[in-house]
């Protein structure tokens, strides 16, 4: 059985967040959704749990960051093609996301956005040969030259 990941994110407006992720084409697992949480099914092995900030606080003794001003994690999901990267990015922006940069290294192509609560998402396509370990080595300077931030 493959490992499954459940990404738990604190959100300020649960209905808005649900609408945003549905606009990206993801389904909702109603069996794990209620007035304090929405279960977004990204794939067979990836689920994002959107939790009201109050409900999220019940699972941690740490303070919850404001993702619009601080970054704790960058969430990266793979895409089947450059076109899929562009399509998801366009859907995200149309649904209220903020652009957060893009990269094109030839063998790797990505576009990033911050969702309405400020959580950072990257959609990445990588050439299959590169993904298998054949990616050319890039210097830090070369990576900076091919990266734009919004």
CATH number, domain at 53?
A: 3.10.180.10
Report DSSP state, residue 76: E
Structural domain contains residue 65: no
Q: Which two tokens stand for residue 57?
A: 């606080």
Contact 116, 70 (CB under 8 A): no
Residue 56's pLDDT is: 96
Structural domain contains residue 64: no
Nearest CA among 36, 39, 35 for reference residue 57: 36
Same domain, 78 and 54: no
In total, how many domains does the chain have?
Answer: 2
Count how many Cα atoms sit within 13 Å of the Cα of residue 128 in the half-sphere of its side chain: 2
**Per-residue tens of pLDDT for the chain, all 150 residues:** 788 999 999 999 999 999 999 999 999 999 999 999 999 999 999 999 999 999 999 999 999 999 999 988 999 999 999 999 999 999 999 999 999 999 998 889 999 999 999 999 999 999 887 766 655 555 556 555 555 665
Same domain, 41 and 93: no
Range of the domain at 14: 1-59
Residues 6 or more apart from 55 whose CB is under 8 A from it?
A: 36, 37
Nearest CA among 75, 85, 74 for reference residue 108: 85
Same domain, 48 and 94: no
Residue 79's pLDDT is: 94
Residue 135's pLDDT is: 53
Contact 102, 95 (CB under 8 A): no
- Residue 9, Ramachandran bin (φ over 0: left; ψ between -120 and 50: alpha; else beta): beta
């Amino acid at each position: 059985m493959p490992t499954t990941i459940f990404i738990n994110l604190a959100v300020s407006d649960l209905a808005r967040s649900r609408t945003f992720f549905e606009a990206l084409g993801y389904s909702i697992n109603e069996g794990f959704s209620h007035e304090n949480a929405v279960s977004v099914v990204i794939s067979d092995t990836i689920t994002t749990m959107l939790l009201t900030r109050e409900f999220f606080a019940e699972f941690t003794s740490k303070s919850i960051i404001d993702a619009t001003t601080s970054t704790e994690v960058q969430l990266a999901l793979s895409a089947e093609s450059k076109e899929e990267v562009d399509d998801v990015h366009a859907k995200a922006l149309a649904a209220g996301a903020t652009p957060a940069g893009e990269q094109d290294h030839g063998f790797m192509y990505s576009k990033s956005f911050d969702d309405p609560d400020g959580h950072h998402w990257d959609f990445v396509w990588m050439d299959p040969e590169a993904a298998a370990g054949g990616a050319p080595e890039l210097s830090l300077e070369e990576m900076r030259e091919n990266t734009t931030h919004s």
